[in-house]
Chain A
Amino acid sequence: KQEVTQIPAALSVPEGENLVLNCSFTDSAIYNLQWFRQDPGKGLTSLLLIQSSQREQTSGRLNASLDKSSGRSTLYIAASQPGDSATYLCAVTPQGAQKLVFGQGTRLTINP
């Protein structure tokens, strides 16, 4: 059974810092890995999608890496801003299934 873990559960950093969020999954048999952002009381916004054959994806100040063999992904946020404050969710699509398995999320606070 696929399980996804995100560490840390919460993170608070001053504005301008670069930071890394971690995601690990127990079964390397995945189609893809997706990072989402969720603001309080809101829906999920897709940030980056990495296919199993890819090593990383970049969008603006965000960079996500995938090491399928070790079951790990990182989301790197450069030059953090208060507007980046949100919960960041990692999810994988297991092979043989058409659904997402989510981690518990990392609640990020960027202090001005």
Chain B
Amino acid sequence: NAGVMQNPRHLVRRRGQEARLRCSPMKGHSHVYWYRQLPEEGLKFMVYLQKENIIDESGMPKERFSAEFPKEGPSILRIQQVVRGDSAAYFCASSPGQRGAEAFFGQGTRLTVV
């Protein structure tokens, strides 16, 4: 039973380019969460998705950031026109969805904007 899979593990983008981060949840999990960890800071919630639905995007910056979890395929976190301040580790977690269920995290994607 593979865990939460994120790719790529490392991503380098020039300022102004687009970054696409992918997350495949654990088998049987239909709930996906994205978190961001800025250098020397704690993890901050960004968005919570179920298949084809955004449930809570209260932690997502209003501009340039978007997320989706299509019926088929992985969840995608997209950052348009990246800036240096977007450099961070982005983690995806999944759970079966019941309240109080344990969340399992992927290895993260480390985005560097140059």
Residues of A within 8 A of B (CB): 31-32, 34, 36, 41-46, 49, 51-52, 89, 91, 93, 97-105
Tell me the minimal C-beta distance from A19 to chain B in angstroms.
21
Q: Establish whether residues B42 and A97, one from each chain, have CB atoms under 8 Å apart when the complex forms.
A: no
Q: Total contacts A to B, CB within 8 angstroms?
A: 58
Given A42-B108, A89-B43, A98-B33, 16 other A-B residues pairs in contact with their CB atoms under 8 A: A32-B100, A34-B102, A41-B110, A43-B91, A43-B105, A44-B91, A93-B99, A99-B45, A99-B56, A100-B43, A100-B93, A102-B35, A102-B42, A102-B43, A102-B44, A104-B41
Q: Establish whether residues B43 and A99, one from each chain, have CB atoms under 8 Å apart when the complex forms.
A: no
Tell me the minimal C-beta distance from B30 to chain A in angstroms.
12
The reply on B55 being an interface residue by CB < 8 A is yes
Q: Establish whether residues A104 and B102, one from each chain, have CB atoms under 8 Å apart when the complex forms.
A: no
The reply on B103 being an interface residue by CB < 8 A is yes
CB-CB under 8 A for A46 and B91, given A99-B33, A102-B42, A104-B41 = no
Bound-state Cα–Cα, A69 to B59, Å:
27
Bound-state Cα–Cα, A97 to B55, Å:
10
The reply on B104 being an interface residue by CB < 8 A is yes
Tell me the minimal C-beta distance from B60 to chain A in angstroms.
12
Q: Establish whether residues B107 and A42, one from each chain, have CB atoms under 8 Å apart when the complex forms.
A: yes
Q: Establish whether residues A49 and B31, one from each chain, have CB atoms under 8 Å apart when the complex forms.
A: no
Q: Establish whether residues B43 and A34, one from each chain, have CB atoms under 8 Å apart when the complex forms.
A: no
Bound-state Cα–Cα, A36 to B42, Å:
12
Query: Which of B59, B102, B106 has the most chain A CB atoms closer than 10 A to its own CB?
Result: B102
Contact of A46 among B41, B42, B99, B104 (CB under 8 A): B104
Q: Establish whether residues A103 and B45, one from each chain, have CB atoms under 8 Å apart when the complex forms.
A: no
Tell me the minimal C-beta distance from A102 to chain B in angstroms.
4
Bound-state Cα–Cα, A43 to B88, Å:
13
